[in-house]
Chains A and B, each alone.
Chain A
Amino acid sequence: MSLLRLIVLLAGAALLAACDSEQNDPYPAAERGQAILYSAFTERPKHLDPAQSYTEDENTFIAQIYEPPLQYHYLKRPYTLIPGAAEQVPTPVYYDAAGKRLPADAPAASIARSVYEIRLRPGIRYQPHPAFAVGDDGRPVYETIDAAMLAKVERIADFPRTGTRELTADDYIYQIKRLAHPHLHSPIFGMMAAHIVGLRELGDALQQAAKANPDAWLDLDRFPLPGVERIDRSTYRVTLKGKYPQFLYWLAMPFFAPVPREVDRFYSQPGMAAKNLSLDWYPVGTGPFMLTENNPNRRMVLDRNPNFHGETYPCEGEAGDREAGLLADCGKPLPLIDRAVFSREKESIPYWNKFLQGYYDASGIASDSFDQAVRLAVGGDVALTDEMQAKGIRLLTSVRTSTFYMGFNLLDPVVGGKDGVGEARARKLRQAVSIAVDQEEFISIFMNGRGIPAMSPLPPGIFGFVEGEGGINPVVYDWIDGRARRKSVEAARTLLAEAGWPNGRDAKTGEPLVLNLDTTGGGMGDKSRLDWLTRQFAKIDIQLVVRSTDFNRFQEKLRKGAVQLYYLGWNADYPDPENFFFLLAGAESKVAQGGENASNYASPAFDRLFAEMKDMDNTPQRLDIVRRMNRLLQEDAPWVFGFHPKSYTLGHAWLLNRKPNDVANNILKYQRIDVAARAAARHAWNAPVLWPLAALLAVGLAILVPAVVAYRRRERRNARGNDGR
């Protein structure tokens, strides 16, 4: 009986809902027809505080909210810095140790200080926020919030009054001081303390103050920072030690965004943090969007900032942008959408399916849905499958500014040649391995071809990357028929024999060569990858032991130098070769210095070139040095250069102005949605299939009818006095 009722109930509910086509619409019906961009995020952002957030998941949000002094041009490639909140891109002024001004082309060694003067655009105002609400007496309304008032507040929107004010240079200075705040643990503090004059001392002073009075709010204005100077209301100067041209890139990151003192003060009031009312949860910026709903478990909503100062869509881009329609909105005021809704999507299957149903406007492609979306055309070009093209989906590809590699720990006797093994032998061994591990096959199996094999640490788009014959890694590749061809396994075997391991056996003792590879074994899908790796090493008779460990353990092993081979990747902070080469600089050695050079590669020649290269501007001389550094690395092979992943994004036809961008994150303001086209497509794609419900009903009846009949019969028998048994 009950089953029937359940079935009827379910069928009824479904039929009722079936009146409209998109009953699988995950969004409220009220949102239909609005200029809202829908996308998803997989990892919940850990921090939204501009002093703390560093990862891409976090910057996806806060880059839309905060405006650092500089930004990247949306369309131009190579990536070009343009003014953000600043009036222009600052040119550093150099001084020597005596304080004498030096010309712009002065040698780096003579430069003691560089000064960046940043002038802000006038008329930039903050988003509406209660911290700016001012009463009739001119004092902030919410300067002191008592418990009774706080009891009525759950979200920031619950404060009845809001206000705004103009952006000033002090806000930027305040944020730079926040980098040194002991409670914030800014990831770049250590690095910036080495560059900005007085930042380290500020950190120490703040630490002391925090220790003396642990619960009180630290008013950063009371602590001096000599390296950052306020000139006037909208101008400030940053003084760096020595020459550091990469500083401009940092000025385009949210670390250097403005944070008003009164907002910090507002959030520091007792009881606020317990309600998640903090800068970490509700950012306050001057950018085109403001965060209005923060539920990192489910969805994040960015709404248009009514006080946005206005910016227009760029009118120039690189070649081909006009044909691609990317310049159609030239001169229109930004942002072009009213709202962006980000939903949390932890599993990739639902993510992909919702995209196909039209409920996400854009999507990356997981490796497994790749064949469905993209086919590789003749000659390695990619094109969308007919199915995708029929849906009007567009493919956006770009090579990411990152590199993946398998590193050797050069402190290890076998692969590093320490303890009398001999560096020459070990180098040959490393070269042999570099040849044996077939990156092309890896990319084709595990990345569906979405990557290009790395010849050096530098990915395309970074200064110093050379395409074609001049850029190949001559240790691993030969240039044949206009293509880079991986050297044969025989060549690797020969190298291995020269290294003293003929056929993978020690030439003297006959012991087999066993290498250990440490990886962070995250997902279970790793098994196939590990099997594949083992096979690569087996090709040259090396026995590979793969040890997958959890992330912390892996890091600890790297720190102690207790690995032989390891797998890592690096995402560029900014598009400059320095940001890749420093991973192999002797001064960054992991074991000795706790730096980022996990291979502990220390080559005096390389370090010398690195020191010279890093402070240079992008001149032909610099290109030459970069080339020499690459040659050194290819010869020494401290890494098996892996690949540079390509990012493939799919966008529906109604998502306009999307251009892949790996460096900048503040791209939301350029996007436009053709709402009518989206509504039509969703309607067409989501007609429900109802026959299974009918079938279910039929099956239920088919079971129930005989049961009821049998029951009747039995009851009648009972009435006659026969027990059923």
Chain B
Amino acid sequence: MSIQPVLLWSDALIWLLVLGVVAFGWASSRTPPLRAAWRRVGRNRPGMAAATVLLVFVLIGLLDSLHYRPPLANRTPDQPAAYSIEVLSALDALAAPLRTRMEKTYSAPLATRAYAKESIEVRDAGGAVHAVRDFPRLAFGGAHLGEDEAQRDADVLGRVLAAEVVALALILVVSGVGAVLLARRQAIPWPQAVRRLWRGDTDIAWNAVLFSLGALALTAAPLLALCVDYHVFGTDKVGQDVFYQVLKSVRTALVIGLVTTLVTLPIAVALGILAGYWRGWVDDLIQYLYTTLSSIPGVLLIAAAVLMMQVVIDTHPQWFATAAERADLRLLALCLILGMTSWTGLCRLLRGETLKLRELEYIQAAQAFGVADLRILARHILPNLMHLVIIALVMDFSGLVLSEAVLSYVGIGVDPTTISFGTMINNARMELAREPMVWWSLAAAFSFMFALVLAANVLADAVRDAFDPRAAVA
């Protein structure tokens, strides 16, 4: 059975971004000021801890960015291969049990029975059928327990403990390997290496990395141990596992947070530099452009643009072989539009900085020597703006992730079929009014989003402190 790989546009951009990060990493390792700045980030303990958490999120996102269409089962051998229109990702394949084990409707976290009573038909001893009102047994949640539902608590506790033991062992092993490596590298005995590692007396704050890895392992291990046989975060209205939805939301958030800045970065950088360097009418024109754009209230601009994209998508159904491609284009369009409303700030900043830079003596000198403008831009101006760009990239991330939720509330967010924190919160909003309250979707979405945004904010602080020349001086 073969599969048909699918490359969605956002996948392409994400992998491009990964490539770009690698290339940028390589480039900055060869540029002393950038290298120094990254070192400063590396020494920042909260920053490194946050980076570790983010990396895990990114890994989930990357797994979710390898898409394919599974083949349809052939009932007769001579049929040609055909593929499902459902587009899955590597994450879906890994989380197949989560994805496929659907209950009928709501169930609480770790529940073995549904959340609301239903009429169940029971056949009594005499063979007559009569209806009883009870909580129906879940099809999958705790199914391995069989009739023995009372065992649930013991089973859960046992699994959690076992998972924590495994997680602890794993941390110890990783730390040990780290210590050995450090010992070998610095040619010191390993107890000393352990001590250094513990105190953070290293080039990079490895202790923070190990600490957050540990914390992650301790949280993730029980989740993983339980999610195979239970719905750890419960199920939603149509019985889909909430844990699965949360995992799927990560990619959407990452795409919104990263791709948005990426796609508009070239515009902002190019226009900002042009305006600042050439001044005159070019400057006037570009200033006019961004003042005009930024003076339109953001939500209105986004609403109009999203509606417009939707029309384009709707009028060209032939572009999309699958629903996933449609949803993906809408996601990408949202990124573009969000970018359109956010590039003006960066552009203004870059323009100001370029204005200052071009007055510097060495650039004046270069101009006097007749060095070509493009060369000056590439050699002297652009590298000196990189820190602003990086700061903007990390600072925008969390804001974008948060705004996705709000936009989805207003109805101009991602495609309704895309799982995202915004769609989850919106679906879950009404559930709070239920009695008894259905709190788990909302809680799961909010806590994962909180973790992601918090990590991003902390990392952003670290990066800004490291790259901002003013901060560096202070």
Contact = CB atoms under 8 A, between A and B. Distances in A.
B447 interface: no
A553 interface: yes
B427 interface: yes
A378 B131 contact: yes
A353 B434 CA distance: 11
Contacts of A43: none
Interface string A471-512: 000000000000000000000000000000011110001111
B334 to A, nearest CB: 14
Contacts of A548: 415-417
B104 A445 contact: yes
B79 A445 contact: no
Given A349-B430, A512-B72, A523-B411, A371 B435 contact: yes
Nearest to B72: A512
Interface in A512-526: 512, 514, 516, 521-526
A376 B131 CA distance: 12
Interface stretch (B54-62, B232-240, B256-264, B354-362): B232-240
A386 B84 CA distance: 48
Interface in B39-98: 72, 75, 79-80, 82-86
Interface stretch (B12-20, B159-167, B180-188, B310-318): B310-318
A545 B323 contact: yes
A91 interface: no
B427 A525 contact: yes
Contacts of B427: 524-525, 527-528
B212 interface: no
Nearest to B320: A545
A368 B85 contact: no
A528 B236 contact: yes
B433 A543 contact: no
B207 interface: no
Interface in A342-358: 348-349, 352-353
Contacts of A525: 426-427, 430
B138 to A, nearest CB: 15
A360 to B, nearest CB: 15
B384 interface: no
B204 to A, nearest CB: 30
Contacts of A522: 411
Contacts, number: 122
B294 interface: no
A598 B426 CA distance: 32
Contacts of B429: 349
A379 interface: yes
A55 interface: no
A24 interface: no
A670 B144 CA distance: 59
B241 to A, nearest CB: 12
B97 to A, nearest CB: 17
A516 B434 contact: no
Contacts of A526: 416
A375 interface: yes
A352 B430 CA distance: 11
Given A524-B416, A546-B323, A546-B417, A553 B433 contact: no
A617 interface: no
A445 B237 contact: yes
A378 B120 CA distance: 9
A368 B72 contact: no
B423 interface: yes
Contact of A543 (B84, B104, B118, B240): B84
Interface residues of B, number: 51
A527 B430 contact: no
Given A549-B314, A553-B310, A528 B237 contact: yes
Contacts of B3: none
Interface in B316-375: 317, 322-323, 326
A375 B307 contact: no
A316 interface: no
Contact of A445 (B238, B311, B411): B238
Interface string B90-118: 00000000000010110000000000111
A553 B75 contact: no
A470 interface: no
A532 interface: yes
B310 A530 contact: no
Contacts of A380: 119
A355 to B, nearest CB: 11
B433 A514 contact: no
A531 B423 CA distance: 14
Contacts of A297: none
B445 to A, nearest CB: 12
Contacts of A546: 323, 417
A547 interface: yes
Contacts of B80: 509-510
Interface in A373-425: 375-380, 387
A510 B79 contact: yes
B287 interface: no
Contact of A553 (B119, B132, B311, B431): B311
A530 B423 CA distance: 13
B249 interface: no
B82 A445 contact: no
Given A510-B80, A523-B411, A550 B433 contact: no
Given A378-B119, A521-B416, A557-B314, 4 more contacts: A505-B75, A512-B85, A528-B236, A553-B311
Kindly list the 9 A-B residue pairs having the minimum CB-CB distance in the complex, ordered from nearest.
A372-B435, A524-B426, A528-B238, A510-B79, A368-B430, A543-B85, A349-B433, A512-B82, A553-B314
